[in-house]
Structure 1
Amino acid sequence: MINNRRCGLLKLVSLRNASHSFSNAKPDSHLAAILTAKKKAKQVFDMLMDRGIKPDVVTYNALIYGYILTGKVDEAASLFGDMKKIGLAPCVWSYSIMINGYCKHKRLDEAVTLFKEMIQRNLVPSTVTYNSLIDGFCKSGRIPDVQNLLEDMYARGQPPNIITYNILLDGLCKGSHLDAAIELFQKIFGKGGWSLCHTPY
């Protein structure tokens, strides 16, 4: 039974790898690879449940990630809820996956609700978690919320990284906040002298 479970977990984790293995493929073939992997992962997941093998957080995360990759946010949210119902506590990565999915589909209120839930559970959001929210807020023009998140990042020992600043510069420029973008740009080079990625504005 242990070997079957390990095999199942490996197949589920391969779902995540599919998104990287086909990174150079055309969009259609890339999506087809992800969809095929997700379908197989769901079959393995159902098989584990039928055999009374309780999936762990890693297993759930892999499948939730697959749903998010293919735009099935509601299915991902349902699985996230099921995980909690059977007594599994979502980890930081679990929340980050869901928050990223909500933000990409402009469901910011739901993303914020999960973020607050993380805090209540004494989980420290990662930089990835913050970056997802900041990207969502920037694209929705909610700049004051972005400022609050930046302050929270420092307070929780998760300072912004170069990805954070690229997201901010992109959002500020596209939102016509050019003065704020220039000020931020100067601060970045004043603090660490980082070289920015080439981001189209």
Structure 2
Amino acid sequence: CCELGRVEVGLGVYGRMLKLNLVPDTGMFNTLIKGLCAEGRIADAMILFERMPEMGCPWNAYTYGLFVKGLCRTGNTRLALEVLHGKATQSSPCKPAIYVYNTVIDSL
């Protein structure tokens, strides 16, 4: 849904899953975060990004890449740097891949 620009449909599925006590996987979170960032809904994407570890769904390098790229594309490079340095979110055992840092450098 989100890949087709229908983020609200994806968020609806996410909401129904939560009501049924189903935990979304990393792939679903990544898709929602990517869609929200594409629509410029950074605050909503941040909420999902922060909620992932709370729900037992770990971030991966792809998650970092999607979120940081979305932040940079919307002019939020400072927040992208904070995410990378763990100041805006909880610590993660996952380390971002080098291309994530390159994304930030390219946006400066």
Q: TM-score, normalised by structure 2?
A: 0.79
Pairwise CA distance, 1:198:
2.4
1:166–1:197 CA contact under 8 A, matched in 2:
no
**Map of 2:38 onto structure 1:** 139
Match of 1:110 in 2: 9
Q: CA deviation at 1:168?
A: 0.9
Match of 2:57 in 1: 158
CA shift for structure 1 position 122: 1.5
The one-letter code of the counterpart of 2:59 is: P
Given the alignment, which residue of 70, 73, 80 partners 1:181? 80
Residue identity matched to 2:97: L
How does the TM-score come out when normalised to structure 1? 0.45
How many residues are treated as equivalent by the alignment?
A: 99
C-alpha distance in structure 2 between counterparts of 1:134 and 1:117, whole Å: 17
Structure 1: state its 5+ residue gaps: 1-101
Identical columns (%): 30
1:132-182: per-residue Cα shift (whole Å, max 9, x none)? 000111111101101211232122111211111010111111111011011
Higher relative CO (Cα under 8 Å, sequence separation at least 6) belongs to 2
Residues 116 and 179 from structure 1, CA distance in 2 versus in 1: closer, same or farther, beyond 3 angstroms? same
Change (3 A) 1:187 1:117: same
**Change in 2 beyond 3 A, CA 1:117/1:193:** closer
Say if 1:134 and 1:195 are closer, same or farther in 2 by CA, change over 3 A.
closer
**How far is the alpha carbon of 1:193 from its aligned partner?**
7.4
Q: CA RMSD in A?
A: 2.2
Specify which structure has the higher proportion of helix.
1
Q: Kindly tell me: are residues 120 and 168 of structure 1, through their superposed partners in 2, closer, same or farther at Cα, counting changes over 3 Å?
A: same
Which structure 2 segments of 5+ residues have no match? none
Compute the displacement of 1:108 (Å).
Answer: 0.8
**What is the distance in 2 between the residues matched to 1:129 and 1:193?**
18
